[in-house]
Every structure is written in structure tokens, then in C-alpha cells.
Amino acid sequence: MAAPIAWVGAVVHPVSGPPIADGVVVVDGAVIVAVGARADVVIPQDADVYDVSGKHIAPGIIDLHSHIGGGRLHESLGPVQPGVAAVDAIDPSHPSIDRARAGGITTVNVMPGSGKLLGGQTALLSLRPGVLIDDLLLCEDPESHRWQTASSLDAAAPDAPPARHARVCGGVKMANGTNPQGDGGDPKSRMGSAYLQRKALLDAKARAAVLDAADARAAAGWWARRRLPDVKRPEPDIAQDVLVQVVRGERIVHFHSHRADDMVTALRLREEVGPQLRLVLHHGSEGFKVAQALADAGVPLAINVLDTPGGKEETLERQLGNPAAVAELGVPVSIITDDPVQDSRLIRRSAGLAVRGGLDPVLALRALTLSPAEALGIAAQTGSLEPGKEADLIVLSGPPLSVWTHVEQTWADGVRVYDRADPAQRVFSTGGDAVVAP
Amino acid sequence: MNALLTCWLGTALATPLYLRADVVHTVSGDPIDNGAVIVDDGKILAVGPAASLAIPEDAWVLSGAVLTPGLIDGWTTAGLTGPLNSSGDQDHAESDHAVDPALRALDGYHPRDPLLGWLRGLGVTTLHAGPSPGQPVSGRTFIAENRVASVDEIALKDDAFVVFSLGEQPKNRFGSQGSASRMGNAATIRQALEDARDYATRRALPPADRASRDLGQDALVELLAGKRRALFHAHRADDIQTALRIAEEYGLDLVLAGAAEGWMVAEDVAAAGVPVLIGPVMARSWRDGEQRNSSFEAAAVLADAGVTVGFMSGYEGYVPKVRVVLFEAAIAAANGLGFSRTLRSLTLDAAGILGIADQAGSIDVGKRADLVLFDGDPFEYASHACVVVVGGAVVSETCH
Amino acid sequence: MIPLLCALVHVAIAAPIAFVGATLHPVSGPRIDDGVLLVEDGQILNIGARGGLAIPDNAVQLDSSGKHIIPGLVDSHSHIGGSRLNEALGPVQPGLSAVDAFDPTHTSVDRARAGGITTVHVMPGSGKLIGGQTAYLKLRRSSVVDDMMLCVDPPDGAALPARRGRCGGMKMANGTNPQGDGGDPKSRMGAAFLQRQALARGQQRLKALDNGPPAPHDPTDLDGDVLAEVVSGQRTVHFHTHRADDIATILALRREFGIDVVLHHVSEGWKVADAIAAAGLPCSLIVIDAPGGKPEAMQLSLQTGAILEQKGVPVAFHTDDPITDSRLFLRSAGLAVRGGMSPDGALRALTLTPAEMMHLDDTIGSLQPGKAADLVVLSGPPLSTWTRVEQTWVEGHKVFDRATPEGAALAAGGGADLALPEEPR
């Protein structure tokens, strides 16, 4: 049984509360057991104590939008392809994952690309060590709503179908605007995009209703059954049943959208399906134009903060002030990399640039940690340094949002997964694509 | 509205400026605490401790935390590549001829491009604009101050380097015209230089036998005569060495650009006395394989080996449409290059590389008044460039 | 009294507003020289000759002497909003909706206001036999298109109303444009057949719906539902057509399926004016400077408006922006008068008649008490080439003002579509 670990003397940023000068964090196994000022925390006798004076400790960073893992995440089976799943294309040994750890990322939402109206299922990964992707993949236990690795679920139920497809281990990726237009079978206009997305979602709603009606019939007694609609349970369908999960709110929709009117179209589609549909808007480059509508709809935004605008028509009005502008009206903001559009190691930089654009630094740090946790529905177990939560944390050489600060260590689920002091790992923090694990 | 305001500010040349900062980095000398700079008639009139510099009568007083010389982008397609990224606003390359030194960036430069305004607001006051990497022998570059006026008015050097490309870009774009392999690409370059030598001879013949004027060959002749300099874009270590080799064979005055693997052959580059414009620092992993060994520490390794380093924003094909040398350099600063060396790379060393160090790159009496006032550490993410002066005119007054 | 130019831009003025001293063109009645127009709470309160009606004490009085005021213009056929409005999912695509492709912040929308347009009918293109649902939009200032939609049976309560009401018509087209692409018909025979087949499908769906609303578990039929609205007459068909025989085809479709239809462009309408009149079909005309460009537009005539007017056919004009610029909408009426149309008829063709075609005339199209305060302040008579649009008001809010630098740039400028900030924010 491993000893507990205590980090003593750093500035601790719990995110769920104000920073603690001269703080202590104690971890036992995979769980945080104490966080507080040095004077207030009792360090277990048998703990390994690290003196981290002069350093800062923050929760592990959560990247809500990434394409790491070395796989091709663009498929072309059709504009709406819900049966396609990112998990089947991720290589856990790919150096991009090591680079994400070097950047301080402990949880990441790996998504299909934006080239299709509905590109496929996303994959929620914990960047703990692992050999199979199932060791990293987090799936929701339907009873406890706790997220744990697919491997652990498979181990607990060896005769059940594999968790990676039998459980909800991510959401779905949708997109509108320029990217999903143009290819062979794709629509050529925003009208066509909205229509095909609307049709897919409403057809799924009807399918969900058929399934509910069939369930009601099955559960009813003979007499009650005579008064229920006579519906036949449809055959299971790998792809369609994913959409049923979406319209029931069991899977989050991660919707890539840049232009203001495209964002409003996404909100409208959600309205047409129902408030149970869980929606996160990604990029939101023109979010500042429709901030009130976003706030009213209670939809969070996941923004990648890029250095300059342009490159395509819908990003012409990108501005550094966007996160601040939407946050001001109460829109929950997360900051993402969209790796490789932005390198995973530079995710703190995005938060710093958002501060440059006017975002409150407290909200900026939250945008890397607790806000994405909330958007993903995993805030009960990670995203802040609180007793009872998972030991996902980073040790920094200085203040989290300074250009001069480096990630010194990354811990995921109580295991150190990156250490800058190890020369073999240090190259992941600065090197290019060619760097591979020793 | 922004354009109008900028134009108006840009013509406020008549007003002298008094810029005061908690720290003034002249770059050519030690930083001055609580320093000041007086600007008049487009030039720096005085620089020193604020206490010893009286404020002229009608001067516009501007105050901030840190004052630096204006930043210099060592090589960019900004001005030739607009934000829309459609065929109508992209003027960075030709595709028909592998050898095209008749092209002049000045003829395609769009001073009103909104992306130039973006860079201006962040303190980039001088740009070295040229064709994108691709043609083995490409056109000539244009060095300009970052201001909205005609190209003639903003030119610091209207016709400067000849651009050459090695590595994957020529393979991608001119594979069917002799550059499918690195061998073929180098051969094309050499042949072009030989043809230029031959042309020079034939131009010297009596009129009846004289070769007709070829604008592109003229530029290569000047290059061979040492009257022009060559900019070679190369990332991979062997491509960098090819550039050094060709430069030596033909006696070219060489500047390297890109140089993702430059750090791996830093001694060779230093020994050749060749300066390097690094970029991108924040290389992205979908890009060409030749950048796979890039490193945030590359600039530091080269500088430690004694190489003169500048930064370039280069060409971007997608989103975002242009890089910002201030941001690129900040990553290098935090990864070994450090504050002073990075600031020097963005200013005086870049000016030296571009051949304009006599007029720009440091805060010295008599030089151009290209200045940036920051509200904090210039490289810090959350700091802002709050005042930008180009040629003595305040071109930006809001914090970016 | 406040000079008109100093009126507040787009803040709702709580007090009533009185435009005093302008020449008023109510359209629903004769011209009023030296008139008073009273606006309150976004609606027209009263209108009459100065001295003939009481101005409330608390009214903000705007000196409008020398100006002309007309109802806000209604553009019955436009493609503003910055997005592509031609899809290619098939020749018949009734499920598509123009609303999903409209960017209210696009500069073309500002230019429409600069042209005096207060209600615009945004349509899918004419590249398909049935191109999709159109959108009736009031040019209020908003970034959210749902705030601008004009709907029959508007849903209540929702911040972003789902499209449960009818907020537009259906775009159909015949002639050259919808032929030729991949799955499209190659002939007018094929075109008419596919359109009849689609409308027949609508009839079947209507019949099925007559038995009661669908249960949640019934399969969806987005296309069928909309086609049912069309054949029941509840959703107006806006039919792009040029040639006389193509017009005749539409007359036949109307007889067969009972659709409520408006003819658009109608280049050869002058040839079959009697038939159009007999069918009582309204026509929305494009007034362009010269014929040609494609065979079916070769015989376009500037006199079409006059001829149809004489036959008692309701006539409207449209810009078909970007074919003609929204800022030059008044010009269409002027040219029609050149072609022989009555000036009153020409002005009505920009205002009340298109409102009637879109069944929105209970709230827009003329300066009458109870209608929306959608109005345009002109520097002179509406049909003069020297006249400029000075201000455009929507529901009592000023949404365009030529006296501001932005307004002047919009009214006359090149209309650069890039709103990119020149400096980072």
C-alpha cells in the first residue's frame, strides 16, 4: 500500500476557493484527502513529504476539445455518422498524449473533426498511465454517475459487453458553418446543414418515443396494454441508438460553431429537441455578438484563443476579448486547445491571452479546470483541489498564467505521469513531433 | 471607423512626442529606469533619464511601464495574404514557374490589410514581406514600416532579398516542375544561378548580340555580385546545410529562415556566420514533417552557439491567418533565450539581419521613432502593447 | 422642437414621437402635405394634416419640414444575410429553411435598412424546383434571427421560439434555373412532373394529418408536413418564373392543387397579363435596366408593371439582392413609372401590395393608426432620382441614419463585407 503524499509550501490554487499561500495538499492513493494552509492541515505520519516552496499547485487541466492520440479523426461515411467513435482511433502510446501530460493536462475530451454535420462519438480520457485505450477511457456508471475507466468496468463485469461501446464514454461531435460543407455527400449550404441535423435529431426523438412506448407495453399488464399504442420494439441499431442517447440527454452534444448565426442555429436545434439535450458550443468565435442568447439558454462555451483572426470567413471577427465578453453575461467559459490547431502544451497560454483580452484571472484558471469539468458532467470527481476528489494536479514553477512558468509535474489519478526533472520526459515539454517515449 | 481613426492619428506627425516609461529598453545600451524618449519629425531626438529630459512645449506625453523599440518581423506574408483566405486576397505565391525572381512583393503588398492592423496594435512596426516558401527561386522581398499609406511612402527597402526554398514546400508545389526531390530542387537553384552568370555575360555584349532584358535574371546577377542578399527557407538540418553549401559555392550573402532543425546544426551555422530568422516557434503537429524536430528551445541553442537570431511569422495557410512575432518570441524567451536576448532578436538583431540597423532596431538619437509602450512585461501573456509609434506617428493608442 | 437629425438612434423613446411638417405618403390614403405623424410604443398612433390633429404634450417633436415620409419598404424577394442559399440535396427540398442560413450581422442587412427596407422576404435561391422555406423578417436590430421573424401563430414564451408557427412561405421555381444539376430534371416536362408529385405528396400528408396530430412515436416527415401546409393554402408559394409558358404552368398547378401563389420576376408577364388577371395572381417584379442574360429574360419589359396594373393585377417590386442593390430599391418604382405605371401604384408596389402578398398587411405596409411604426424619412419625393433615404425606423426605433458616418458609408460606400477589427481586441 503506497504511502500518502503531501506537498508543502506552495501557493495552492484549489479553484473551488481562493488561493492559499503556504499551502498543503495531501493525497492518499488516488484521492485528495486534505487541502489547506500549512497551519490547518495535519500531515499523516507516514506521508512522503515534498517541499514545494516557491511553486504553485493547481488542479490538473481539463482540455474539452482535442484531437491527440495520433489517429485520423475525419471519416466520410456520410454527413451524419453517429456510429463512428473516436475511441477506436486513439493510440495511447502516441507522443501527443505525452505532450498533453507535459502541458499539465490530466483529462481530455478527444473528438472527431468538424468535417461532418455529426462526426461521431467523442472519447473522454483520463491521462493516467495505460496500455490499452480502455485504461484511459472514462465511462459513466449508470447508477452512481461516477466516471471510471472502461478497463475497471470490464474487470468488474467480465461477461458483459465491452464498456467502451456498451457504456457512455463520451458525447457526440456536431458542427455547422463552413467545415461540414462541400465534400461529396455533404450539404452545400447552412440551410441543408440545419435540415439534415434537424431531421437526424427529430427522427431520433421519434425512435426514443417508440422505444419508450414499447417499454411501457412490456411493463404493462394485459388490460393496460390494450389501451396503449400498439408499437413494436425496433431492432437495436448501433448508430441510431447513439442518437437516442443524445436526445434523451445521456450524451453531451459538443457543437463546433464559429459565426453568431450558426451558434443561434445550434441553440434553435436544441430548443426543437427539448431542454434535456445537453449542449456545449465549441469555438464560438463570434460569441460576443450573441452572449445574451447564450446566457439565456444556459449553454456553456468552449473557446480556443488564437493569436490572430482570419483564415476563413467565419473566423474573421475572432477577438481576444471574446471570453471576457461572454463571461460577463454569465456564460460558463472553458478554454480548449483543439490540438493540433493549438499545441496542448500551450493551453495555459490561451488562458493568459484571455486575461489579456479582459477575462478575470480567477475565471481564466477556472476555465482550464472546474468549468470544463462542469461542462462534461464530471465536476463531482475532478476539476478542483478538494478533499474527496481525484488526485489530478499539477506542480508549476510559478503562477499558473505566466509565460515564464513551466509545468514541473503532472499527477493523474494519484500517479505522477510527467516530471520535468527527468531528462527523458523533459523533451516532451519543448520538443517537436518527433520526440518519442524513450 | 478604425481605419479613419488610424489614418487621422497617422498624420499627426507634426506633434512631438514625449514617451516616459518605468523602464526604457534602448537595446543598444543598458535599460534606463524611469526613462524618457523625445520624438520629433519622425526621429528620436533624445533618450535618457526622464529627470534630465524636459518635456517640449507642445509635446504629446505618453506614459507606460516598459518602452521598447518597435518590433521587427523578419519575414512574413502579411500584407500579401489577407484574412479571407480566398483566391481574391491571397497574393503570396505563383504556381507556374519554378524560377521566378522577377516577382516583387512590393507589387502585391496591401498596406490596408486588416491583419497588418492587428500586428500593428501588438507592436510590430516593421515587416519584411515576401513570397511564401514554395518556388525554388522566388521573388524579391519588401521591407516596410507598418503604417497605412502607399507602398512608396512606407518602403524602407522597396526591393531587398531574393527568396529561395528548400525542403518540403517546393516538393509540394513544384513537384512536377523539377522539385519532386531535394536533388532536383537544388539542381534547379544552381542552374538558375548559372543561367544568371551566363546572362550577365551576354548582357555585356554589343547591342546586336546583347541578350534581351530579363527582370528576374537582373536580380540574380545582382545577387551574384553581392549587391543583393539571399533568403533561404529551410527547416531540416540537411536542407540548412544545402543552403550553406550553395551560398558558399556561389558567394551568396545568406540569411536562413525557418530553421526548425537549426539547433541541431548550430555549430555549422555559427561557423558560417549566417544569421537565422526562426519561425514558427509554436510549430503545430499537422504541419510538414520537416518541422517535427522543432523545439521551443531552438532559438536559445542557436544563440548560445553564437548565431544571430531574429523571428519571422512566415506563411499560414489556415486559421489563424498570421502569427505574431511578439507571441512566438515570448515562448522562446521562456525556454532559454531569456528576456534581453529575445528583445534584441525582435529589434536590433532583426534590423541588422535586414540591413536596416542604421535606421531602426534600437532607441538611439537619430534613428527612426519606432516605439512600443507596454503596460507590463512585454512577453507576459496578460500584458498589453498600449501605444505604438511608427516613424514618429502614433498609430495605435489602445491597449492590445 | 428637436431637429430630425438629432433624434436618438435606437433607444426606445418612452414618450410619443411626432414627426411634424413632412409630406406624408400613407399609401392607404392620399398624400398629406405638411403632415403630422404620431408614433407611440412602436405603433402609429395617428396621422393627419398639421393643425388637424392634437399632438400630446409629452411628445418628442421632430421637425421634418422639407422631408417626405413613406411607410417602411417591403422587399418581397431578397437573398441578404451573407450565406449561400442554394442547396443540392435534391430537386425538391421543402424541409430546408432560409432562416438557418441568415446572418443578421452581415453588412447586406445593414444595407437593406439603408435602402429604407423595414421588412424583407429572404428566400432560398432558384436553383431547385422546390428550394425550401422562405423567411419573413422585420429588420429590427438584433444578432439573433429568431428576434426578427414574423410568424403567423407565433409561439409564446420561449426565448428562442422553435419554428412551430408559419414564418414564411415556400420557394418554388421553373424555367432554366432549376434544371441541369446532378439530380435535377433536364426539361420543363420533368420539372412540372416533380413539382406535381411533391404537391400530391403534400395532399396525402394533409389527409393523414386530418385524422389527428401525429403521435410522438410516429415517424417524422419534415418535408411532408411543410408540403401539407402548402397545399392547404396556409403557406404561400413564391414562384420564380420568367417565360410566358412557365407562367401558364403555374396557373395550371394552382388550379390542380389550390395553392396560394405569388409570381416572382414575371419577365414575360406582359404577354399573358389577361390570364394572370383572371386568376387573380399577384406578381412581384424585378425591375432591371436591360433584358437578356438568359433566353427567358430576353423579353423583359419595363412596362410590365404598367400593363399588369392596368389589368388590375396586384404588382409589387423586389430587389432580388444581390441582383440589384437593396439601397436602390426606390429606383425600381421610379423606373416602373418611366414604363407607364402610376406613381401611386408604384409606391404601393414597394409597400402595401407586397405586405398583402405575404399576408402581413394587418401590421405593415402603410401609415395607418394601429400599424407598426415602420417608416422612412426621405430627403424628397419618393420616386425622384435626387431623393435619398435619410432615416429608416422600425417599430418606433431608428435603425438607419444617413447623418452618422457609419450611415453615410453604408448608404454610398463599397459595402466591404469584412467587419474585421483592424486592431486586436
Q: Which domains are assigned to chain A?
A: 61-383 (3.20.20.140)
pLDDT tens-place string over residues B219-272: 999 999 999 999 999 999 999 999 999 999 999 999 999 999 999 999 999 999
> Same domain for C310 and C350?
yes
Q: Which chains touch C (3 or more CB pairs under 8 A)?
A: A, B
Which of A195, A293, A316 lies closest to C96 in CB terms?
A195
C86 and C63 in a single domain? The answer is no
Which chain B residues contact residue A343 at CB under 8 A? 282-285
Quick check: A15 and A383 in contact, CB under 8 A? Answer: yes
In a domain? residue C122: yes
Write out the DSSP string of A242-303: HHHHHHTTSS-EEEEE-SHHHHHHHHHHHHHH-TTS-EEEEE-TTGGGGHHHHHHHT--EEE
* C278 and C252 within one domain: yes
State the burial class of residue B33 (Cβ atoms within 10 Å of its Cβ: 0-12, 13-18, 19+). Answer: exposed
Q: Cell 511612402 identifies what position? A: B153
Residue range A34-84, pLDDT digits in tens: 999 999 999 999 999 999 999 999 999 999 999 999 888 888 889 999 999
Distance (Å, rounded) from C-alpha B171 to C-alpha B236? 14
For residue range B276-296, list pLDDT tens digits in order: 999 999 887 655 589 888 888
Cβ of C423 within 8 Å of Cβ of B396? The answer is yes
Nearest Cα to Cα of residue C71 among C278, C356, C291: C356
Instruction: Say yes or no to pLDDT of C421 above 70.
Output: no
Residue B85 at interface with chain A, using a CB cutoff of 8 Å: yes
- Alpha-carbon B270 to chain mean position: 20
**Per-residue confidence (pLDDT) for residue C6, from 0 to 100:** 45
Q: Is C424 in contact with B400 (Cβ distance < 8 A)?
A: yes
More confident residue, A393 or C292: A393
Per the structure, the complete domain to which residue C173 belongs is given by 73-357
Residue A150 has a pLDDT of 95
3-state secondary structure of C318: strand
- Chain B residues close to A353, C-beta within 8 Å: 381-382
Q: Has residue C418 got a pLDDT over 60?
A: no
Q: Which residue does chain A place closest to C163, by CA atoms? A: A272
CATH value at residue C36: 2.30.40.10
pLDDT of the residue at C291: 74
Say if residue A310's pLDDT is above 70.
Answer: yes
Type of residue numbered B285: S
Q: What is the pLDDT of residue B317?
A: 85
**CATH number of domain containing C297:** 3.20.20.140
| Closest residue of chain A to C158, computed from CA coordinates | A271
Share of chain C above pLDDT 70, in %: 91
Using an 8 Å CB-CB cutoff, list chain A residues near C149.
Answer: none
Specify if C279 maps to a domain. yes
Domain end, chosen from C357, C380, C396, is at: C357
What cell numbers appear for C224 in the block?
A: 411532408
Of B118, B260, B383, the CB nearest to A309: B118
CB contact under 8 A, A431 and B384: no
Write down the pLDDT at residue A1.
67
Contact yes or no for C97 and A194 at CB 8 A = yes
pLDDT in tens, B80-92: 999 888 888 899 9
Asked whether the beta carbons of B121 and B398 are under 8 A apart, the reply is yes
pLDDT tens digits, one per residue of A189-228: 999 999 999 999 999 999 999 999 999 999 998 888 888 8
Q: How far A405 CA sits from the closest chain B CA (Å)?
A: 8
Cβ distance of A192 and C425 shorter than 8 Å: no
Q: In chain B, which among 156-195 make CB contacts under 8 A with chain A?
A: none
Calculate what percentage of chain B has a pLDDT beyond 90.
Answer: 87
Residue C17 shares a structural domain with residue C89 = no
User: What is d(CA B343, CA B335) in angstroms, rounded to the nearest whole number?
Assistant: 14
C158 and C97, same structural domain? Answer: yes
Count of structural domains, chain C:
2
Cα end-to-end span (Å), chain C: 40
**pLDDT one-digit tens code per residue, C308-362:** 999 999 999 999 998 888 998 998 998 899 889 999 999 999 999 999 999 999 9
In a domain, C364, yes or no: no
Condensed to tens digits (0 to 9), the pLDDT of residues C138-149 reads 999 999 999 999
Structural contact between residues A417 and A125, judged by C-beta atoms closer than 8 angstroms: no
Q: Which residues of B touch C (CB under 8 A)?
A: 1-4, 6, 83-84, 114-115, 117-118, 120-122, 396, 398, 400
Among C13, C112, C12, C40, CA closest to C72: C112
Clarify whether residues C63 and C197 are in a common domain. no
Q: What is the pLDDT of residue A77?
A: 87
Cross-chain Cβ contact B121/C423 below 8 Å: yes
Range scoring the smallest mean pLDDT among B160-164, B308-312, C298-302: C298-302
Yes or no: say if C70 and C376 are a contact pair by the CB < 8 Å rule: yes
Q: Which residue has the higher pLDDT, C217 or B17?
A: B17
Task: Say if residue C279 is in the same domain as residue C377.
Answer: no
Task: Write down all domains in chain B, each with its CATH number in brackets.
Answer: 2-69+365-396 (2.30.40.10), 71-354 (3.20.20.140)
Structural domain contains residue C80:
yes
Same domain, C34 and C102: no
- Among B86, B283, B323, the residue with its CB nearest the CB of A432 is B283
The three three-digit cell numbers of residue A171, written as one number:
458525447
Residues of C in contact with B396 (CB under 8 A): 423
* The domain boundary residue, chosen from C294, C322, C357: C357
Are the CB atoms for B228 and B219 separated by under 8 Å? yes
Residue C81 domain-assigned? Answer: yes
Q: How far is CA C146 from the centre of its chain?
A: 17
Residues of chain B in contact with residue A315, where contact means CB-CB under 8 angstroms, are 319-320
Same-domain pairing of C143 and C99: yes
The verdict on residue C366 lying in a domain is no
Lowest mean pLDDT among B210-214, B358-362, C289-293: C289-293
Q: From the CA of B399, how many Å to the nearest CA of chain C?
A: 8
> Do C283 and C397 fall within a single domain?
no
Cβ atoms within 10 Å, residue A209: 18
| Contact by Cβ (8 Å): A126, A161 | no
The answer to whether the Cβ–Cβ distance between C146 and A264 falls below 8 Å is yes
Q: Is beta strand B32-40 parallel, antiparallel or unpaired with respect to C375-378?
A: unpaired
**pTM score, whole prediction:** 0.85
Mean pLDDT of chain A: 94
B319 to A96: CB separation less than 8 angstroms, yes or no: no
Whether B295 sits inside 8 A of A431 (CB atoms) is: yes
Classify residue C202: in a domain, yes or no. yes
- Is residue C417 in some structural domain? no
In order of B68, B171, B350, C165, C184, the CA distances from B343 in angstroms are 8, 35, 10, 62, 62
- Same domain flag for C156 and C31: no
